[in-house]
């Protein structure tokens, strides 16, 4: 006689109710534009409040069964949502909605559609170019209030040098303060969206630059802006927002390595800039 089969482990009733609500909301889909439809179905769960930031998604197998699609199709949709900054993958635990998931998904669909097909490296390249021009414009246009806002974020980074999460919060605010100082609302809007999309990857993959070195780079950017030197501000920002230092190309795939080409030679040294009174020890 064979061994008696153990009864299947039953999910808690609260989980079953949650899965039932998700299945009811998902409905059915057509085969054309499958990934887009799956992303939209899952996005609607967030926008309708069925799922909230921080919640975990059902496993791939269950989602595939709910939608009558293959697991590979579900996997593509989940990957697209990771690139969008909506999902965070926790090793051995599953897919979780990021804290900015609802805000990102609230952006009009026609704006987010291009992001779904892009790699993080491609988005990083666009972000890098706009960050550089934002810094150059800030050097030309920043008001006294703008400069003080940027200085405050540098001080916040210095004060939180031992706390990566707090440091990164001030880091993001520093870049947004520069975008605001540039006086171009597109810089503010796009960089806010791009940084939210890339934020989880930045926290989960360690930077190749130490926080003290990162702080020094931010100080150099601030000095260039304070000196009203747009060329130096652009150069310092390009040095800071660099593929070589950051997390984007860990796999070194042929599709991504091309982004390193124009960083193969270091840029010419930046001119010496006067020390800011706020940056003196």
Task: Decide if 134 contacts 184 (C-beta within 8 A).
Answer: yes
DSSP string, 31-57: STTHHHHHHHHHHHHHHTTSS-TTPBP
Task: Decide if 127 contacts 175 (C-beta within 8 A).
Answer: no
User: Parallel, antiparallel, or unpaired for β 94-97 and 87-90?
Assistant: antiparallel
Phi, psi of 56 (to 5 degrees): -95, 150
Tokens 């930031």 -> residue? 53
Phi, psi of 101 (to 5 degrees): -55, -50
Question: CA-to-CA distance for 59 and 14, rounded, in angstroms?
Answer: 16
Helix or strand holding residue 128 (H, E):
helix 120-141
pLDDT at res. 155: 97
**Residue ranges of the domains in the chain?**
22-114, 118-249
pLDDT at res. 121: 72
Dihedral over Cα of 88, 100, 237, 255: its sign: positive
**Is 118-249 assigned to CATH 1.20.120.530?**
yes
| Other Cβ atoms closer than 10 A to 190 | 17
Task: Decide if 187 contacts 134 (C-beta within 8 A).
Answer: yes
Task: Decide if 217 contacts 135 (C-beta within 8 A).
Answer: no
Question: CA-to-CA distance for 154 and 42, rounded, in angstroms?
Answer: 38
User: Helix, strand or coil for residue 279?
Assistant: coil
All residues at 6 or more sequence positions from 95 whose CB lies less than 8 Å from its CB, including other chains = 56, 57, 78, 82, 87, 88, 89
Question: CA-to-CA distance for 183 and 204, rounded, in angstroms?
Answer: 32
pLDDT tens-digit profile, the chain (281 residues): 555 555 555 556 777 777 777 766 766 555 546 777 888 888 888 888 899 988 999 999 999 998 889 998 898 888 878 767 788 888 888 899 988 888 777 766 545 545 555 666 777 788 889 999 999 999 999 999 999 999 999 999 999 998 887 888 899 899 999 999 999 998 998 888 777 666 655 555 555 457 888 899 999 999 999 999 999 999 999 988 876 655 454 455 665 566 655 454 444 554 555 554 444 43
CATH of 22-114, one of 1.10.10.10, 3.40.50.300, 3.40.140.10, 3.90.1150.10: 1.10.10.10
DSSP secondary structure letter of residue 276: P
């Amino acid at each position: 006689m064979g061994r008696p089969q153990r009864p299947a482990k039953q999910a808690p009733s609260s989980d079953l109710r949650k899965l039932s609500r998700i299945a009811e909301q998902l409905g059915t889909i057509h085969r054309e534009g499958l990934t887009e439809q799956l992303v939209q179905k899952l996005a609607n769960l967030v926008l309708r409040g069925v799922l909230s930031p921080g919640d975990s998604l059902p496993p791939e197998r269950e989602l595939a069964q709910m939608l009558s699609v293959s697991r590979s199709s579900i996997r593509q949709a989940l990957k697209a949502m990771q690139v969008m900054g909506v999902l965070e993958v926790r090793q051995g635990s599953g897919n979780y909605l990021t804290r900015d998931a609802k805000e990102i998904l609230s952006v009009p669909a026609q704006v987010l559609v291009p992001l779904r097909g892009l790699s993080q490296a491609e988005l990083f390249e666009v972000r890098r170019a706009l960050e550089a021009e934002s810094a150059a414009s800030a050097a030309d246009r920043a008001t006294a209030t703008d400069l003080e806002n940027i200085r405050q974020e540098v001080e916040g980074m210095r004060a939180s040098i031992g706390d990566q999460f707090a440091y990164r919060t001030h880091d993001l605010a520093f870049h947004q303060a520069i975008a605001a100082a540039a006086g171009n609302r597109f810089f503010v809007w796009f960089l806010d969206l791009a940084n939210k999309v890339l934020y989880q990857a930045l926290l989960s993959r360690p930077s190749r630059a130490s926080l003290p070195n990162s702080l020094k780079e931010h100080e150099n950017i601030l000095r260039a802006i304070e000196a009203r030197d747009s060329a130096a501000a652009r150069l310092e920002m390009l040095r800071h927002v660099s593929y070589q230092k950051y997390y984007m190309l860990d796999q070194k795939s042929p599709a991504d390595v091309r982004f390193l080409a124009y960083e193969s030679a270091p840029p010419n040294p930046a001119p010496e800039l006067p020390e800011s009174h706020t940056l003196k020890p």
